[in-house]
Chain A
Amino acid sequence: MRLFTASPNQRRTVYFSLVAFLVFFPLGIMAYKLFVLDYPLAGLIPAVSYSTDVTMQVTGHGDDMMLRTYLPRSDFRQTVTEEANASGAFTLTFENDGLNRVGVWRGERVTGTHTLHYTYTAQGTHVRYVIPDHLEIPQVYPAGLKEYLASEEGVPVSDPLIAQTTAQLFPKGKPTILEAVTTIHRFLQDQFANRDFSGYTDALTALKLREASCNGKSRLFVALARKMNLPARLVGGVVMESGSKRTSHQWVEVYVNGHWVPFDTINNHYMELPANFLTLYYGDQVLFRHSTNVNFQYHFNMNKRLVPKREVQNKLRDSVLNIFNLYDVFQRIGISANLLKIILMIPFGALVVVIFRNVVGMETFGTFLPALIASAARETGLVWGLLAFFTIILVCSFVRRALDWLHLLHSPKMGIMLTLVVLIILGLTVLGVNLSLFDLAHVSLFPIAIMAITAERFAIMEAEQGLGKAMKIMLATLVVITACYVVMDSLFLQSLVLAFQELLLVLIALNLWLGKWVGMRLTEFLRFRYLILRGEEVK
């Protein structure tokens, strides 16, 4: 039945009006957001976070074992999310130790070598303080700050050498707070050599040698500050950067008028702290403690990740467009913003697939399968995603051939295939966890039914057109998955579409345009090259 008929002219008018609307209407909303709601363009630049894997390795000889380390907390400056523990037979408990959070792993009668992982994602912000120059050093502090003025192991505030140094540094006696911290910072930064030494250095040793690593300099800073009646404390943490590292870092905070102001005299951070400094603990602590004779090893593996900022969305709240505020809608029903991001990116993946099919001319398994696999591969990472996809399809199609030999009816056979996909996915997850390949473990997010159908198609193609052809299409599918992944993983696009969801209408316009495109596909140039060039010389 024909729903409606139309002359070519009418059809043309409708087509062009639709394309024009789908381009100009979203552009209008974007302009409104940018110029009336004053969206900050800086909000489109992604923020940096680090996924961190603290790896600890121990070897046991049949005794009970204990490991402890400080774990970061979220505060005004840093955000710690997605924490996960994978410690095998070791049980993890959390303890509070003053301001600090401690992870304690205990194992009973441990033999052999074990690797423990604690992972989290951390995002920091850069902070900078300004101390008014007239601020005097107070005579008295609240009782709670007493410990930050006292002598302690390694920080002998009342040692004559410390008093002699402050006397030299402040010959006129009473400096302001700013003068005091500036002088101490410059003294340690400029007159002490940095040493790359991982052992313990106390304040006096550092002072005598005129050189120290971060912990020696920090202890001396604290000792001098406390001597000047400025509450000060050591801070331990890591400098986040991509790669594997075994070094932690220490710096100093001085209490000024209700704020703890940071100083790092190794890297010359004066009253400021960069965004990639992650605080793990306060006070003069040892980062890792463990039972003796366990051959303890550790390292931090960090990966820099970019995440889209969401601040721009807040602008929407106060405007008439707020009914389209997807963030609020998703938040109200408790669905994560991450899922929203994935959903918003799927049309981009679909566009990539359309281009590969109709412009490049690559045949893939399933029309939009590559876009779906690419979105599922966000959690596994591209390489593991491709490998898992390839393995699942190959194993399932092999089993399908075996089932074919048994002459089973179609639906029960597909039921078996689906179950098999589930089993393989569970197997890969278990394998991933046991081999500490946590990215691989996320393979459980793969679209199970679609995988089973794809395996079926692969098997049919292999039977009808040979393994070569099936593998060719498999390869093309992997290529298109990769392309979808790259586009869907683009933080620029993510940030853009999170801020301007109306861009999805432009995607419809692009598809309308591609839907009328009758040009030759790239692979057709290969296929018909002799026909097109017939009678002419082929170079």
Chain B
Amino acid sequence: MLDWKGWIEVAKNWSRLKSNTHRVLAMNRRNLHLIYPNNPRRFFPQADDKIYTKEIMEKAGVPVPKTHRVYRYFYQLESLESDFEGVKDFVIKPAHGKQGGGIRVISERQGNDWVEVSGERHTTEDIKAHIYDIIFGIYSFDLHDQALIEERLIQHEEVNWLSPGGLADIRVILLKGKPVMAMTRLPTKASHGKANLHQGALGVGIDMATGRTIRAIHHGREVFHHPDTGREVVGAVLPYWSEVLSVARRAAEAVDLGYLGVDISLTPQGPSLLEINARPGLEIQNANLTGIMERLAEPAEGLFEY
């Protein structure tokens, strides 16, 4: 917003920008024409509650990370020591977390301590306190929440080459069961290993037919290389691409949300669904340099404009 050079460009190209807005799906139209008619409010928990999402997906046979345990109440934390016996690595997630908040990825055990992927060491008491915070609702803005302990996914080695700094995910946007657009998000040091574009992860647009990466953006600017490794991220072909799209389709079929974003990770065994989003963001268009409106065959039904 304080990008004054950008504003000058906007001003200079105003008439051409104005006449080509139909390409882009912008926020007002996304809400009014895609989310409200396709995602009735009562089905939002299917996406917002990660435990519920996993239940639905498991029933529909969509691959998801294995759940070790769910902590719903404070008293359940008493058995934490024994619950984690024999467990080497795991992920803690708040069921209602937003934008990756409250997620801890534990990669190994050293003596009595747990080591996070970042290298940070935690005692069992620290882990307990974190789960306590989650249940209390720190990461879900005042809701009593549940803490989900699940299997830590190992990344497919080709994806790991692109994204050694953390678990990359593939976001596929679907409308009425049909994949519309996709990108993969590669964590960076700046994003603290999180696949979150706002925090500095790379957004990489994907050719829907082939799974080839076509364009990358970092903080909204086009790049070609990973800022941490210097490796080229454009032109790579993602493994298991047709399986990724098929998992995304099956996930979309399993829920009652007509317009959604499906987040998938690639393991050596194939795609695994991380979560779904009932209000998928718009930055995917910049990663692909293509507007979502250009991909929608017909205008959304049942709407009127003035």
Contacts and interface: CB of A to CB of B under 8 A. Distances in A.
Contacts of A11: 304
Contact of A465 (B21, B42, B199): B199
B7 interface: yes
A525 B27 contact: no
B109 to A, nearest CB: 23
B1 to A, nearest CB: 6
A186 interface: no
Q: Max chain B CB contacts within 10 Å: which of A358, A407, A531? A: A531
A532 B17 contact: yes
A12 B304 contact: yes
A146 interface: no
A430 to B, nearest CB: 33
Contacts of B29: 518
B133 to A, nearest CB: 8
Contacts of B285: 528, 531
B142 interface: yes
B12 A469 contact: no
Interface string B197-218: 0110000000000000000000
Secondary structure at the A interface, as helix, strand, loop or mixed, is helix
A538 B282 CA distance: 22
Contacts of B1: 362, 472, 476, 523, 526
Contact of B9 (A362, A476, A516, A538): A538
Interface in B1-54: 1-3, 6-7, 9-10, 12-14, 16-17, 20-21, 23-24, 26-29, 32-33, 42
B101 interface: yes
A530 interface: yes
A134 interface: no
Contacts of B21: 519-520, 525, 532
B297 interface: no
B13 A464 contact: no
Contacts of A407: 129, 133
Nearest to B304: A12
Contacts of B2: 472, 475
Interface stretch (B84-92, B175-183, B258-266, B286-294): B286-294
B142 A538 contact: no
A409 B132 CA distance: 9
B136 A8 contact: no
B111 interface: no
A410 interface: yes
Contacts of B303: 8
Interface residues on A, range: 35 or more
Interface in B252-306: 282, 285-286, 289-291, 302-306
Contacts of B16: 532-533, 536
Contacts of B136: 409-410
A528 B20 CA distance: 11
A84 B199 CA distance: 52
Interface residues of B, number: 46
A524 interface: yes
A317 to B, nearest CB: 41
B237 interface: no
B227 interface: no
Interface in A500-519: 513, 516-519
Nearest to B199: A465
A269 interface: no
A524 B32 contact: no
B26 to A, nearest CB: 4
Nearest to B288: A531
A521 B26 contact: yes
Nearest to B31: A518
A525 B17 contact: yes
Contacts of A517: 28
B137 interface: yes
A524 B26 contact: yes
B306 A530 contact: no
A529 B28 contact: no
A529 B12 contact: no
Contacts of A362: 1
Nearest to B133: A407
Contact of B26 (A1, A12, A472, A520): A520
A525 B290 contact: no
A527 B197 CA distance: 14
Contact of A533 (B13, B99, B304): B13
A532 B6 contact: no
A528 B27 contact: no
B138 interface: yes
A5 to B, nearest CB: 11
B87 to A, nearest CB: 24
A226 B149 CA distance: 100
A533 B18 CA distance: 10
A362 B2 CA distance: 11
A529 B289 contact: no
B220 interface: yes
Interface in B122-167: 129, 133, 136-138, 142
A539 interface: yes
A531 B24 contact: yes
A84 to B, nearest CB: 41
Contact of B10 (A464, A526, A534): A526
A533 B142 CA distance: 43
Interface string B68-99: 00000000000000000000000000000001
Nearest to B301: A8
A527 B142 contact: no
A529 B13 contact: yes
Contact of B13 (A358, A472, A539): A539
A469 B198 contact: yes
B289 A531 contact: yes
Nearest to A520: B26
B3 A526 contact: yes
Contacts of B198: 465, 469
A361 B10 CA distance: 15
Q: Max chain B CB contacts within 10 Å: which of A469, A476, A539? A: A539
Contact of B27 (A476, A516, A524, A539): A524
Interface in A236-267: none
Given A518-B33, A521-B26, A531-B291, A410 B286 contact: no
B12 A410 contact: no
B228 to A, nearest CB: 18
A518 B299 CA distance: 13
A516 B27 CA distance: 12
| The 7 nearest A-B residue pairs measured at CB | A518-B29, A539-B12, A520-B26, A532-B20, A518-B28, A524-B26, A528-B24
Given A520-B26, A520-B28, A528-B26, 5 more contacts: A8-B303, A362-B1, A410-B138, A516-B306, A528-B291
8 contacts: A358-B28, A410-B136, A516-B32, A516-B306, A525-B21, A528-B285, A530-B286, A533-B16
